[in-house]
Structure 1
């Protein structure tokens, strides 16, 4: 599979499991950056999970005010800095976070959307909104990684917005995260089917 074909398939090809394609704007950014296909596959998987979380929140917790489009763009670009720090695709590191924000800003993306590249791993920072929390949550639950501190923050936001006890919101969130997490094996296999380097 050539790099262009692999990237195109990772971004919008018909795949198993069925995953929503990345938005055209993001696909264009990734193509222009010669994004590694595995990174594009990861972004697609996280974007799909963010869709599921946003759908759930809108249907079941409509009192939670958040910018759906920002969440979806943030999920689709959160690791874009790994086009610069490719080593971080297979090794730990945080250099991609600020690099991703700077890269997006340099490509003309507004600061409000570019921020997710830097905030997706720092959900305890001041000023973190529900959009940042949802992007961070999608970036964990796509592979069924449960992070209690992050989930507690989401539960607190939900309880505050809805006016219900936190334990009720915990049960509701746990239920949806467990359901989404059940598909983690297929998403991981999808990501692993693409090469790290172009």
Structure 2
């Protein structure tokens, strides 16, 4: 997922220079968003959300500030008022690396990009849709690679 986050932030930085976001925060969030699965290994290969709060608490207990640790908690809930662009980008990378499209999440990102650049939403949507399709096209390879390392809870 971290590789996908790199691709995504590179694309945003090149195409939407008017949108300020903290690149390093996104990459940190991508690297640590699922760290709570250490405490909930059953969620490595199955559904569940217990890892989200657990990951936040784990990072906080090891000295990470709330702003950094938050990605463990926010990567699957992007509708809260305090969600920032960085949270949305981590969430999007988390979804698109496995080719999962979430229209509500994508629309939030489209709105931020369109507002920052003063472009029509439809134009931004078309560009983002193309980029997400490009990234998602390699999901089978990524999932097969991950599947080559079975996990036992």
Tell me the residue number matched to 2:5.
Answer: 50
- CA deviation string 1:22-58 (max 9, x = no partner): xxxxxxxxxxxxxxxxxxxxxxxx1100000000011
CA drift of 1:89 comes to 1.2
Residues in 2 aligned to 1:80 and 1:197: alpha-carbon distance in whole angstroms: 16
The alignment yields a C-alpha RMSD, in angstroms, of 1.0
CA drift of 1:147 comes to 0.4
Residues in 2 aligned to 1:54 and 1:66: alpha-carbon distance in whole angstroms: 9
Tell me the residue number matched to 1:192.
Answer: 147
> Is 1:105 aligned to 2:60, yes or no?
yes
1:70-149 equivalences in 2 (<5 Å): 70-149=25-104
- CA deviation string 1:149-183 (max 9, x = no partner): 00000000101111111000000100100000111
Residues in 2 aligned to 1:122 and 1:195: alpha-carbon distance in whole angstroms: 27
CA drift of 1:108 comes to 1.1
Tell me the residue number matched to 1:155.
Answer: 110
Taking structure 1 as the reference length, the TM-score comes to: 0.76
CA drift of 1:99 comes to 0.3
CA drift of 1:195 comes to 2.4
- How many residue pairs were aligned? 153
Residues in 2 aligned to 1:197 and 1:60: alpha-carbon distance in whole angstroms: 42
Q: Which runs of 5+ in 1 are unaligned?
A: 1-45
Residues in 1 aligned to 2:84 and 2:143: alpha-carbon distance in whole angstroms: 28
Q: 1:65 aligns with which of 20, 44, 48?
A: 20
Q: Which 4+ runs in 1 deviate beyond 3 A?
A: none
